[in-house]
Chain A
Amino acid sequence: MTKPRTLFDKIWAAHLVHTQEDGTCLIYIDRHLVHEVTSPQAFEGLRVSGRKVRRPDLTIAVADHNVPTTDRSKGIADPESRTQIETLEQNVRDFGVPYYAMDDVRQGIVHIIGPEQGMTLPGMTIVCGDSHTSTHGAFGALAFGIGTSEVEHVLATQTLIQKPAKNMRITVDGDLPPGVTAKDIVLAIIGRIGTAGGTGHVIEYAGSAIRSLSMEGRMTVCNMSIEAGARAGLIAPDETTYAYAKGRPHAPKAGQWEAALAYWRSLPSDPGAVYDKEIVIDAATLVPHVTWGTSPQDVAPVTGHVPDPAREADPARRSALERALAYMGLTPGTKLTDVRIDKVFIGSCTNGRIEDLRAAAGIARGRKVAGHVQALVVPGSGLVKEQAEREGLDRIFLDAGFEWREPGCSMCLAMNADRLEPGERCGSTSNRNFEGRQGRGGRTHLMSPEMAAASAIAGTIADPRAA
């Protein structure tokens, strides 16, 4: 009998092109997603060495980080952002790479459009010069972020030099209590294992609470694997996955669908497969979570308080905590729901999908954003925006006083005009609360779309279950 294998082991083995004596592997890449920030130097590298893109047909490019979320007919005001996007447009022309332009309805955040277009499928290897490539792992695809030198390597060779990761399994079993979302699951996991908890590992999320999630929810969980230190997250493909993929523009067509399905069904981890690390979480114990500090592991139940550094035994942790609270302008012991916010951002590759917007709209319906709060809703793609508008979500948001924007990364990293001013505090559905992430001196509290909508209305961090 062959040794039981994990989902990761199977995908890895299926993509080995060459293995060196020391265990360094050359693996084949099925899909390469390209965006404007991490690709210019890679294309430049190709040009300098006279190389071509080996498989432009397996590559797709889109501009998302720098694009304005306001009226685009006027072009891009910031000259550097404009140059970066024009450079991408020149590069895709020169190298024959397919591209969704800014006025294409399919344009959006790279990690939203891959799944939406059916480019992300089970069993694949998917890379992008972007750490949140882990999102695509929700389909049972091995998907991870790479640096620009590796982007160039994939462009030139359609392969990557890698060593296999270790296997880690996080099992979340049981029924999720009402009002607890995929975002809360992943924030709770990061709070528990820390931002280096998954380093060197690929995390496979398993258990009935994970299986009960929609594809959108699974993407939210896998998205933040990188915040848990893992390069990739994985969820075994199942009927939910196949139903989502079927009929999408780049999904296997009739005639090939059955063969693909048969292969995908062989992918889930074998019974008895061994993991290097195992974590088990009881779903019934989970509650809505929010971050209070400047690392995604600085997380607490929304019913909790700002922690006291004096009670931290480890000196390195204590000084990090003191620094975080000083930066965040928070006093130990403050009730989190007493923390007043200035802005709300609903969007990003973590929570910018249709289901996220529905959830936020469900809370916003018939209510009003607090007078001192500016609240932005930024759909993850043009198609998400269209769908939301068909469902009338834009009206709900606009009536409640939210701003309804064009798709892109927006205030998740504030490379475009959407950003926090120094000292401003934001309830954000994105994935990083690092110092300065949403604008120099800006203060970020990570939360679910439900909590973000509830907080916009309350004007403070708010428990969505009470809204």
Chain B
Amino acid sequence: MQKFDKLTGVAAPLAMINVDTDMIIPKQHLKTIKRTGLGKALFDEMRYEADGSEKPDFVLNQPAYRKAQILVAGANFGCGSSREHAPWALLDFGIRCILAPSFADIFHNNCFKNGILPIPLPQETIDKLMDDARKGANAQLTIDLETQEIVRPDGEVIKFRIDDFRRHCLLNGLDDIGLTMQKGGDVDSYEARQKTAQPWLAMAQD
């Protein structure tokens, strides 16, 4: 997994609530068997006309935001389907950090597994950052996961807080599976206990 420590970049304003994962990456792009290459399909139906040409109004099509690395969005971002294609598409486009008042649980989880940092912040803070983002490429934000600070273009520092374990994994680009494999002994003894306590859990094979 890609590490996340510190990032300075352009933030794109997406002032919508309930941005769902069907919007982030519609189902016609879920047929891939790879993780990469989804960036061009990010926000497909908002971003392109039916003939494939770009909708000039959509924020990521505007010159200032074509290389955005941060998204500022409305509440309940990432609701809907569990598709990890949503963070894959964001990452492939170049988005590494999402700022919103709240996130849907599964999406929030999926971000951390892919080196994307989702930061929930109070609505008033999001309103300020949304204003910054609207200023385009001249108003970059700095996100520092080590110190858990966001620096606004005017120098104001906003504190945020991420779960310690998740922060540690993201800062070091750690792979969960490797970490869990080290606890293989615990899993073995759990399985042994279950086998005696709840033998019906073994699934009859056919």
Contact = CB atoms under 8 A, between A and B. Distances in A.
A371 interface: no
Nearest to A31: B203
Contacts of A246: none
A436 B81 CA distance: 13
Contacts of B23: 434-436
A22 B164 CA distance: 7
A263 to B, nearest CB: 7
Interface stretch (A34-42, A280-288, A385-393): A34-42
Given A24-B165, A147-B110, A415-B31, A17 B183 contact: yes
B176 A153 contact: yes
B200 A252 contact: yes
Contact of A58 (B190, B200, B203): B203
A18 B183 contact: yes
A87 B190 CA distance: 32
Contact of A263 (B17, B26, B80, B198): B198
Interface string B110-123: 10011000000000
A253 interface: yes
Given A229-B104, A256-B200, A415 B180 contact: no
A458 B173 CA distance: 57
Given A58-B203, A153-B177, A41 B34 contact: yes
A404 to B, nearest CB: 24
Nearest to A156: B177
A316 interface: yes
Contacts of B50: 422, 440-441
A22 B165 contact: yes
Interface residues of A, number: 85
B114 A149 contact: yes
A147 B31 contact: no
A106 to B, nearest CB: 10
Interface stretch (B6-14, B54-62, B71-79, B136-144): B71-79
Contacts of A167: none
B106 A414 contact: no
A39 B202 CA distance: 23
Interface of A: 17-18, 20, 22, 24, 26, 28, 30-31, 37-38, 40-41, 44-45, 49, 51, 54, 57-58, 60, 65-66, 78, 80-81, 83-84, 87, 98, 119, 121, 124, 129-131, 144-150, 152-153, 156-159, 161, 163, 195-196, 199-200, 226, 229, 231, 249-253, 256-257, 259-260, 263, 295, 316-317, 319-320, 323, 413-415, 422, 432, 434-437, 440-441
24 contacts: A17-B183, A26-B180, A28-B194, A31-B203, A37-B31, A37-B83, A38-B83, A40-B34, A57-B202, A98-B205, A130-B82, A147-B87, A150-B110, A153-B177, A163-B163, A195-B79, A199-B76, A200-B105, A250-B204, A257-B200, A319-B16, A414-B27, A432-B81, A434-B80
Given A41-B34, A145-B82, 13 more contacts: A18-B183, A28-B190, A37-B83, A80-B32, A119-B203, A150-B109, A158-B187, A161-B180, A196-B102, A229-B104, A256-B199, A263-B198, A320-B17
Leading 3 A-B pairs by shortest Cβ distance: A252-B200, A149-B113, A40-B33
Interface of B: 15-18, 20, 22-23, 26-28, 30-35, 45, 50, 74-76, 79-84, 87, 102, 104-106, 109-110, 113-114, 163-165, 176-177, 179-181, 183-184, 186-187, 190-191, 194, 198-206
